[in-house]
Amino acid sequence: MTLDEKIGQMSQSTSMGHSISEAIKAEIRAGRWGSFLNAGNAGDRAEAQRIALKESRLGIPLLFGRDVIHGYQTVFPIPLGQAASWDPGLVEQAAHIAARETAADGIHWTFAPMVDIARDPRWGRIAEGMGEDPYLGSAMAAAMVRGFQGKALDGPESIAACVKHYVGYGAAEGGRDYNTTWIPEILLRDVYLRPFHAARDAGAATFMSAFNDLNGVPASGNKLTLRQVLREEWKFDGFVVSDWDSVIEMISHGYAAGRADAALKAIQAGVDMEMVSTSYRENVKSLIETGKLDAKLVDESVRNILRVKLRLGLFDKPVPAAPAASAFLAPDALAIAERLAAESAVLLKNDGGALPLSKSISKVAVVGPLADSAVDQMGCWVADGKAAAVRTPVAALRSLLGAARVAYAPGLKSSRDTSTAGFAAAVEATRGADAVVLFLGEEQVLSGEAHSRAFLGLPGAQEALVGELAKTGKPLVAVIMAGRPLTFPAVSSKVKAVLYAWHPGTMGGPALASLLFGDAAPSGKLTASFPRTVGQVPVYYNHMNTGRPPSASELGIPMGTPLDPKDFTSKYLDVDFTPEYPFGFGLSYTTFEYTNLRLSAGPVHMGGHLTVTADVANTGSREADEVAQLYIRDLVASVTQPVRELKGFQRVHLKAGEKRVVEFTLSTADLAFHNRQMQLVTEPGEFHVWIGPDSARGQRGSFRVTD
């Protein structure tokens, strides 16, 4: 390969746009580009690939990438919602369907999964990830990689995964997108890196370096994370692509003196392919000629890229034909989308068994700006989603009950609407209704990239709308669609039930109709703690203890003085220190009881295993799924450990009155953490263990690990 051809492989462009021009065709023949993202239609991509294979000097295929974050034309719930299903097998199926549709359209590579741990709901991109926990995040990351890539990367329904954003992006200061992150290395390794490691172990083909500055070194120029951890420790042999312009953004960070310096530092750190910006094309030759850049690093990057293209089978695959319409939105895809939307929804409140509603109801009033908004229902990052294919709650409820029994009034034009002009029609819609179902939350444009929020309340006049409807005396049920945890105590106090549906995707309407009327029972569990108010942020379950931890009875002004510090503990004066809804929380239409925690052994020798079991009984009158969760706490260690850590979960289906034993196996390796020498160790000592319904409750036991 010539140096120009090598640099071409290291360059990714958006220049194809919506069509393939003669200029682009000439550049492909010359080997100018190795990859395109957001490139034309299927016909354009096929022609570009034909030129690359048949008319370029070396016949190296192009790699087409696309942001397929939670579905292609069949849109699944946002990833934060998918994680709330606690069902990795179902999430894997959804990723496979996304890959199948994407591959049919001539695209080989998705910039997903996003596995950033996020503890700040103000950050808009929390919608794209799996929440705050590294154990659950790891399980979901691996599931998505398996789903996208299939059993073989060169399979007809497989695409390459790109694990992003490597690394620490979810810890952006103040929840402001693209912002600085400061993460001690122990925390980086024990929390933020773990889902990336799981994705690598699942066989992820590519990684994406992040926008953020990590501990003073931008992630796209960070040798510690890219070379030491990813290449040397994890033995990753795929390639790393930068995020959009993140190489030259190192200039704005104050880390690179100019475009040449940015290219040098990115390549030396281990960024193999530059997305969109062209600093590699402009500077690699001169950097090598002046002796600043070792040509061997360029060869290494090109090998990494070609290795992935070979594994995808792109050298051998024929240029694809135009896809049939049946390749998209197939019945099995829609069925999985509906099931995942139903499993993702989390029941947060259900006073007096307000839900499910009876199908014999004479009339239901449907109110709210998100009840019939197809675009908003899909959520952020749905470049290829089809609004016409979306089945909204209004449409689904009319189909279920008949149009005559469903009265609909949006009340507001959008979630941000501050006008009260639609309130009267909304109140009128409740006339003669037995129940009112409110569809509230935040519209599509309020979450996702560059969509951080300083306040987490329901935007616009939604609270006022609920207040007006509460005056009717009708029983109110709130369904909240959102891309993040929100704070809504005033609304919660006025409604009988709250069902949190995230942005549920194409089949959200039928899924929610089945939940509201009892054809399905809610089983989702939160994967991010919900704050009581934005002033509590960050609030997350797996925090460290303090020297003065608060007690459950404390609220208000401390009673003591500095000389007699009664109630001088780590808390706020004006809000409870606990979250509104804890990690792992979720109600059902039945009740579950956990009893009889048992441990297979007392002392566990280093290298050994412990079996932890408990009885879970369905004590209600309906069959349903429950997600049983296993947590541990290391009571004394050389580095302080979280008050609880998730170490296992199981989804179990129980009939009314049924009791089942749930069993978890813990090895001493599962208890490991990084010490101050960055060694992964398990230390002997005392541990607590819980099996329960969420991170705040459960049956507790204890055990000791011995040398």
Catalogue the active-site residues: 243
DSSP one-letter code for 618:
E
Sequence-ordered list of residues with C-beta below 8 angstroms from that of 540, at least 6 positions apart, any chain: 119, 132, 528, 529, 583
Q: Measure the CA–CA gap between 474 and 604, rounded to whole angstroms.
A: 57
Q: Measure the CA–CA gap between 48 and 54, rounded to whole angstroms.
A: 10
Phi, psi of 80 (to 5 degrees): -60, -35
Q: Measure the CA–CA gap between 320 and 325, rounded to whole angstroms.
A: 15
Largest separation between any pair of C-alpha atoms in the chain: 83
165: cis peptide before it, omega within 30°? yes
563-587 burial, b if ≥16 CB within 10 A, otherwise e? eeeebeeebeeeeebbbbbbbbbbb
Sequence-ordered list of residues with C-beta below 8 angstroms from that of 17, at least 6 positions apart, any chain: 38, 39, 40
Taking residue 666's Cβ as centre, other Cβ atoms within 10 Å add up to 23
Q: Measure the CA–CA gap between 585 and 689, rounded to whole angstroms.
A: 18
Q: Measure the CA–CA gap between 238 and 205, rounded to whole angstroms.
A: 5
Q: Measure the CA–CA gap between 285 and 23, rounded to whole angstroms.
A: 23
**How far from the centroid of its chain's Cα atoms is residue 509's Cα?**
21
Pairing of strands 435-441, 476-481: parallel
Sequence-ordered list of residues with C-beta below 8 angstroms from that of 126, at least 6 positions apart, any chain: 80, 118, 120, 170, 447, 483, 484, 485, 528
- The full DSSP string for 430-474 is TTT-SEEEEEEE--GGGSSTT---S--BPPTTHHHHHHHHHTTT-
Q: Measure the CA–CA gap between 130 and 112, rounded to whole angstroms.
A: 12
Sequence-ordered list of residues with C-beta below 8 angstroms from that of 106, at least 6 positions apart, any chain: 42, 45, 46, 49, 64, 320, 323
Q: Measure the CA–CA gap between 68 and 110, rounded to whole angstroms.
A: 5
Collapsing DSSP states into helix, strand and coil, what is residue 506? coil
Residue whose structure tokens are 């329901």: 458
Residue 579 has, within 13 A of its CA and on its CB side, a CA count of 28
Say if residues 124 and 451 touch (Cβ distance below 8 Å): yes
Closest CA to 367 of 410, 336, 430: 410
Collapsing DSSP states into helix, strand and coil, what is residue 260? helix
**Element of type H or E holding 252:** helix 249-253
Residue whose structure tokens are 């492909």: 28
Q: Measure the CA–CA gap between 158 and 623, rounded to whole angstroms.
A: 37
Residue whose structure tokens are 């009327």: 517
Say if residues 98 and 79 touch (Cβ distance below 8 Å): no
